[in-house]
Amino acid sequence: GQSLEQPSEVTAVEGAIVQINCTYQTSGFYGLSWYQQHDGGAPTFLSYNGLDGLEETGRFSSFLSRSDSYGYLLLQELQMKDSASYFCAVRSTYNFNKFYFGSGTKLNVKP
Partner 1 sequence: GAGVSQSPSNKVTEKGKDVELRCDPISGHTALYWYRQSLGQGLEFLIYFQGNSAPDKSGLPSDRFSAERTGGSVSTLTIQRTQQEDSAVYLCASSLAPGTERQETQYFGPGTRLLVL
Compute how many other C-beta atoms are within 10 angstroms of the C-beta atom of residue 42: 8
Q: How many residues does the chain have?
A: 111
- Residues in 63-92 at the binding interface with partner 1, rule: CB under 8 A: 87, 89, 91
15: how many CB neighbours lie within 10 A of its CB? Answer: 11
Which of 15, 50, 53, 54 touches partner 1 (CB under 8 A)? 50
Per rule CB under 8 A, is residue 27 in the interface with partner 1? Answer: no
Q: Are 24 and 38 in contact (CB under 8 A)?
A: no
Which of residues 40 and 111 has its CB atom nearest to partner 1 in the complex?
40
For residues 3 and 25, the answer to whether their CB atoms sit within 8 Å is yes
Cβ burial of 71 (10 Å; 0-12, 13-18, 19+) is buried
User: Residues 16, 45, 57, 108: which binds partner 1 (CB under 8 A)?
Assistant: 45
Residue nearer to partner 1 on the CB measure, 63 or 87? 87
Q: Contact between 51 and partner 1 (CB under 8 A)?
A: no
Residues making contact with partner 1 (CB under 8 A): 30-31, 33, 35, 41-45, 48, 50, 87, 89, 91, 95-104
